[in-house]
Structure 1
Amino acid sequence: MPKILIAECKQEVSTFNPHLSGYEDFTLRHGQTILDYHRQVRSEVGGALNVLDATPGVELVPTCSAHFITSGGTLADAAFERIAEEILSSIKSAPPVDGIYFSLHGAMATQSLADPEGWLLEQTRKIVGETVPIVISLDLHGILTELMLEQSDAAVAFHTYPHVDFFSTGERSARLLLRIVAGAVKPVTALVRVPALVRGDELITASGSIRHAVEAAVAFEQSADGLSAAMMWGNPFTDVPALASNSFVVTDNDPALAEREALRIAGLFWEHHEKMQVPLTSLADAAQQTIENTSGTIVLVDAADATSSGASGDSNAILRALLDAGYAGTALIPIVDAAAVEAAFRAGIGQEISTTVGGALDPARFKPLPITGRVRMLSDGWFHSETTRELWQAGNTAVIQAGGITLIVTSRAVSLYDRALFYAHGCDPQHFGAVVVKSPQCERHMFKDWAARYIDVDAPGSTSANLRSLGHTRCARPMFPLDPEVPFQPQARLFQRHP
Structure 2
Amino acid sequence: MRIAIGGFQHETNTFAPSRATYERFVQGGGWPPVSIGDEIFERFQNQNIPISGFMKEIGAAHTLIPTAWAAASPSAQVTDDAFERIAGAICDGIRKANADMVYLDLHGAMVTDSHADGEGELLRRVRAIVGPKVPVAVSLDLHSNTTPAMFANSELLVAYRTYPHIDMAETGARAAFYLKQRIGGMAAPKVAWRVLPYLIPITAQCTDLFPGNDIYTLVGQLESNDVPSASFTPGFPAADFDGCAPVVWAYGVNDAAAADAASKLERRVLAAEGEWDARVLSAVEAVREAQLIASTARKPVVIADTQDNPGAGGDSDTMGMVRALLECRAERAATGLIVDGAAAKAAHEVGVGKTLNFALGGKSRIPGDSPLELPWTVEALHEGNFAATGPFYRGMKMRLGPSACLRYQGVRIVVATYKTQLADQAMYRYVGIEPTEQAILVNKSSVHFRADFTPIAEKILVAKAPGPMAADPADLPWRHLPRGIRLHPFGKPFA
1:255-270 equivalences under 5 Å are: 255-270=255-270
> Distance between the aligned counterparts of 1:272 and 1:192, measured in 2?
15
> Distance between the aligned counterparts of 2:6 and 2:347, measured in 1?
39
In the alignment, what sits opposite 1:307? 310
The answer to whether structure 1 residue 22 and structure 2 residue 24 are counterparts is no
In the alignment, what sits opposite 2:380? 377
SS of structure 1 residue aligned to 2:454 = coil
Taking every aligned residue pair, what percent have the same amino acid on both sides? 28
The answer to whether structure 1 residue 462 and structure 2 residue 465 are counterparts is no
Structure 2 residues not aligned, in runs of 5+: 26-32
How far has the Cα of 1:303 moved from its partner? 0.9
> Distance between the aligned counterparts of 1:328 and 1:148, measured in 2?
50
CA contact (8 A) 2:341 2:417 kept: yes
| Structure 2 residue corresponding to 1:97, chosen from 77, 96, 99 | 99
> Distance between the aligned counterparts of 1:279 and 1:143, measured in 2?
24
In the alignment, what sits opposite 2:159? 157
How far has the Cα of 1:370 moved from its partner? 0.7
What do residues 92-126 of structure 1 show as CA deviations (whole Å, max 9, x unaligned)?
3x231110001101111112211111111111122
> Distance between the aligned counterparts of 2:228 and 2:410, measured in 1?
54
How far has the Cα of 1:201 moved from its partner? 6.5
SS of structure 1 residue aligned to 2:40 = helix
| Structure 1 residue corresponding to 2:358, chosen from 351, 355, 367 | 355
SS of structure 2 residue aligned to 1:198 = coil
Q: 2:151 corresponds to which letter in structure 1? A: L
1:132-281 equivalences under 5 Å are: 132-199=134-201, 203-221=205-223, 223-252=224-253, 254-281=254-281
RMSD: 2.1
CA contact (8 A) 1:316 1:359 kept: yes
In the alignment, what sits opposite 1:119? 121
How far has the Cα of 1:137 moved from its partner? 0.4
> Distance between the aligned counterparts of 1:142 and 1:107, measured in 2?
5
> Distance between the aligned counterparts of 1:184 and 1:331, measured in 2?
54
> Distance between the aligned counterparts of 1:144 and 1:42, measured in 2?
22
| Structure 2 residue corresponding to 1:472, chosen from 441, 466, 478 | 478
In the alignment, what sits opposite 2:349? 346
In the alignment, what sits opposite 2:78? 75
> Distance between the aligned counterparts of 2:14 and 2:426, measured in 1?
26
The answer to whether structure 1 residue 46 and structure 2 residue 56 are counterparts is no
SS of structure 2 residue aligned to 1:214 = helix
Q: 1:22 corresponds to which letter in structure 2? A: T
In the alignment, what sits opposite 1:447? 453
Q: 2:4 corresponds to which letter in structure 1? A: L
Q: 1:266 corresponds to which letter in structure 2? A: E
TM-score scaled to structure 1, two decimals? 0.91
The answer to whether structure 1 residue 316 and structure 2 residue 315 are counterparts is no
TM-score scaled to structure 2, two decimals? 0.92
In the alignment, what sits opposite 1:496? none
The answer to whether structure 1 residue 395 and structure 2 residue 394 are counterparts is no
CA contact (8 A) 1:16 1:237 kept: yes
How far has the Cα of 1:483 moved from its partner? 8.4
CA contact (8 A) 1:99 1:181 kept: no
In the alignment, what sits opposite 1:84? 87
Number of aligned residue pairs:
480
CA contact (8 A) 2:193 2:247 kept: yes
> Distance between the aligned counterparts of 1:365 and 1:410, measured in 2?
22
> Distance between the aligned counterparts of 1:394 and 1:170, measured in 2?
26
> Distance between the aligned counterparts of 2:280 and 2:329, measured in 1?
22
Higher mean displacement: 355-364 or 161-170 = 355-364
> Distance between the aligned counterparts of 1:47 and 1:412, measured in 2?
27
Distance 1:365 1:14, change over 3 A: farther
Distance 1:368 1:443, change over 3 A: closer
Distance 1:480 1:417, change over 3 A: farther
> Distance between the aligned counterparts of 2:492 and 2:216, measured in 1?
22
SS of structure 1 residue aligned to 2:6 = strand
